[in-house]
Amino acid sequence: MPARNGTTSQPLSLPEWAFSPMHTTSFASQPSQNSWVAFTTIILTLIFLESSPPSVNNVVVGVALVGTLVGQLVFGYLGDKLGRKKVYGITLILMVFCAICSGVSFGASAHSVIGTLCFFKFWLGFGIGGDYPLLATIMSEYANKRTRGAFITAVFAMQGVGIVFTGLVSMTLSAIFLHFFKAPTFDENQVFSTQPEADYLWRIVLMLGALPALLTYYRRMKVPETS
């Protein structure tokens, strides 16, 4: 379907209702990726304690935001040159791949683990940055004049939903791990208060960030090219 020029007010069509949840779900996964970094760095700091690099959260978040900025510029340009639908699929694959790879960050020391995590977080931010201009542009061009404002508002409002979802998932998984793997409090024993299994916890949380984007893959590939 070609993009509407917005000169006439048309009723909300069925395809628009179908594509709107797909876009909003995808947008919800973007802030959740950066929000899960805070949870991850707390766990990593507890695991490595004194050997953990200083300001871990600032470093990882900063790298991801730099990637986001670069991704906005690069994919915004490529979307105009190659077509938004094609680039839209590339950003999705990049986000899913890097979210999963973030969860399998490897290394023999705290610095190497953080370094690997920063590498994948940069490219994850790169893909997220590409999604920002593409999502807003596709929604504004696909929706008709009467529904355009509501659709774009719904897309950006899903950032808050993604952040809330991040907190709920993190707390739920933490409670499950604590139930099955008992440990003393941090005040009682700083070393043994963090179970060895916590190294799996932050990895699972990061990899779950790929799920919302992955669920939209089929619908993304059905998005008609905009003009």
The letter for the amino acid at 73 is L
Buried b (16+ CB within 10 A) or exposed e, 64-86: bbebbebbbeebbebbeeeebbe
Return the ∠ at Cα 94 (arms to 73 and 109), rounded to 5°. 105
- Name the phi and psi angles at 45, rounded to 5: -65, -40
| DSSP code for 224 | P
Euclidean distance between CA atoms 16 and 7, whole angstroms: 17
What's the rounded Cα separation, in Å, for the pair 131 and 125? 10
Per the structure block, which two tokens stand in for 81? 């040159």
What is the chain's pLDDT, residue by residue, as a tens digit (227 residues)?
A: 444 444 443 444 434 444 444 554 555 555 556 666 777 777 777 676 555 556 777 788 889 889 989 999 999 889 888 887 788 888 888 988 998 998 888 877 778 888 898 899 899 889 888 888 787 777 777 777 787 777 777 777 777 777 788 888 888 988 898 888 887 777 777 667 777 788 888 888 888 888 887 887 777 777 666 65
Q: Which domains are assigned to the chain?
A: 14-219 (1.20.1250.20)
Distance CA 40, CA 99 (A): 13
